[in-house]
């Protein structure tokens, strides 16, 4: 079991965390956002947080331990900050530009802990000798992993149930002077089932499923109920040789061993990596950010 954090982020810092919030720097701007796992006390004072921050997202709810995207809340701007701005992620030859913005859910368009997975994707795709390997990104959000795979030389299919997410991912693709990512606006499980029936195969599959959600037609997604079926479908789509698989899980409360056990049911894995992602803090209060499983074959 491994504990990994992104070490290539010059444009991102976790400055402090505690009292169910985190203080983060994204490029030139510092934000205060909710964080249900930060149950400890802050290292810096509240006055210091407010003095540093450009904006604060507050959730109007009584249960600090369990967040959903349906609660009320909003941003309070403490200093001048644009509606959107760009940050850079660099790793070896990879120079990834990402558009960030203040959203109504408190997200900004990127999950910084995923940087370690981007490195894995970039290195793996570039190591293959064949041209245009096919990579499928499911629950693909604003498309950072899709753009990384594309920049590494893959033919990428990006599937997400959110139309705004697809539009944002398209902006990130164009921001990096790439083109021809295949956009799929569909429930991920439905798409996987159809791809299995079509007999399609992929050299890489990336999955970052939410704990719950709904597809474009109101399809209900619950991680605990659908994860096994989703991974079984992915196992039928993945090429047997020169391929990779990535599973990330943030908010389900599952151990990384859960993902490992489900994947072992459907894949023949050699030397899988699994464990926990975290964000390294300036104040020695490192923040857990979910689990991961990945392997190459």
The string of pLDDT tens digits covering residues 8-44 is: 799 999 999 999 999 999 999 999 999 999 999 999 9
Domain 107-296 has CATH 3.40.50.150: yes
pLDDT tens-digit map of 89-116? 999 999 999 999 999 889 999 999 999 9
Q: Give 167's Cβ-side CA count (13 Å radius).
A: 3
Grouping H, G, I as helix, E, B as strand and the rest as coil, residue 33 is strand
Q: How far apart are CA 297 and CA 295, in angstroms?
A: 7
Give this prediction's pTM.
Answer: 0.93
pLDDT at 223: 84
Full DSSP string of 121-146? HHHHHHH-SSSS-EEEEES-TT-HHH
| pLDDT, position 251 | 66
**Where is 261: in which H helix or E strand?**
helix 256-266
Q: What is the pLDDT of residue 60?
A: 65
Mean pLDDT by 10 residues, the chain (297 residues): 92 97 98 94 97 90 47 84 97 97 93 96 94 95 98 97 96 98 95 97 96 74 88 96 94 85 92 95 93 95
Q: What pLDDT shows up at residue 67?
A: 44
pLDDT at 197: 97
Domain residue ranges in the chain: 8-85, 107-296
Q: Span 8-85: which CATH code?
A: 2.60.40.1180
């Amino acid at each position: 079991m491994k504990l990994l954090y992104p070490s290539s982020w010059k444009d991102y810092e976790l400055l402090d965390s505690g009292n169910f919030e985190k203080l983060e720097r994204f490029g030139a701007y510092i934000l205060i956002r909710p964080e249900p796992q930060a149950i400890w006390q802050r290292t810096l004072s509240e006055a210091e947080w407010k003095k540093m921050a450009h904006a604060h997202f507050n959730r109007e709810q009584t249960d600090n331990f369990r967040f959903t995207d349906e609660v009320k809340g909003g941003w309070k701007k403490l200093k001048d900050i644009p509606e959107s701005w760009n940050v850079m992620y660099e790793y070896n030859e990879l120079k990834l530009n990402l558009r960030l913005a203040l959203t109504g859910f408190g997200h900004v368009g990127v999950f910084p802990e995923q940087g370690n997975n981007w490195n894995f994707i970039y290195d793996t795709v570039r190591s293959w000798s064949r041209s245009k390997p096919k990579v499928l990104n499911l629950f693909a959000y604003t498309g950072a992993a899709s753009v990384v795979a594309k920049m590494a030389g893959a033919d990428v299919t990006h599937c997400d149930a959110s139309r705004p997410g697809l539009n944002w991912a398209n902006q990130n693709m164009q921001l990096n002077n790439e083109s021809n990512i295949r956009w799929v606006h569909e429930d991920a499980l439905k798409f996987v089932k159809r791809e299995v029936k079509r007999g399609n195969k992929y050299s890489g599959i990336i999955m970052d499923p939410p704990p719950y959600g709904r597809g474009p037609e109101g399809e209900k997604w619950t991680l605990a109920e659908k994860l096994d079926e989703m991974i079984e479908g992915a196992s039928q789509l993945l090429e047997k040789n020169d391929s990779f698989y990535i599973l990330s899980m943030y908010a389900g409360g599952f151990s990384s061993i859960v993902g490992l056990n489900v994947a072992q049911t459907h894949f023949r894995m050699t030397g899988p990596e699994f464990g926990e992602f975290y964000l390294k803090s300036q104040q020695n209060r490192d923040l857990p950010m979910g689990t991961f499983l990945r392997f190459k074959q």
